[in-house]
Structure 1
Amino acid sequence: MPKYVIERDIPDAGKLSPEALKAISQKSCGVLSAMGPQIQWLHSYVTADKVYCVYIAPDAEAIREHAAQGGFPAERVSEVASMIDPVTAE
């Protein structure tokens, strides 16, 4: 199944409290549960003004539907073509 990186513009995301991040995570998990197992959230990176999420989904439309149902922004949805790491250099 394809993997996607979602770029979400969230002003002051890096200043969100642990409680706010927990609430956002709970909302996301609730929407994912209702959508079924075909879409999975792997993890997210929170930066100053953005959140980058990594998902597995059948297509980009499923990602956009999750965002719409959860009320989350999804400015850019990019399918991962490949992944590299330090081992790739060996």
Structure 2
Amino acid sequence: MIETRSPLTPAREKSLARLKRIEGQVRGIGRMLEDDRYCIDVLTQLSAVKSALAAVEGEILRDHAGHCVAHAIESGDAVAQKAKMDELIGLLAKHYRL
């Protein structure tokens, strides 16, 4: 059986484009290390990558809350609602070390 994918949402397309740019940034940092560039310049670029990844993370989190969590809430299914909220709280607790 051939598996077909549903088209990406605009938010996912935006995140994917950002990740491709970040991938290029990371390769650039590798070249900086190979070229023995100044440490502060490398650290500055690493900081930029971390910020860019945080932006993608935030976009995906917003997308999840806006679609997956909202769908569980709208469904009226208390079990699905609790599962999605537990999942979201677990992620945030892990991320923020709560």
Query: Does TM-score exceed 0.5, indicating one fold?
Result: no
TM-score by length of 2: 0.26
Which structure would you say has the larger Rg?
2
Higher share in strand:
1
TM-score by length of 1: 0.28
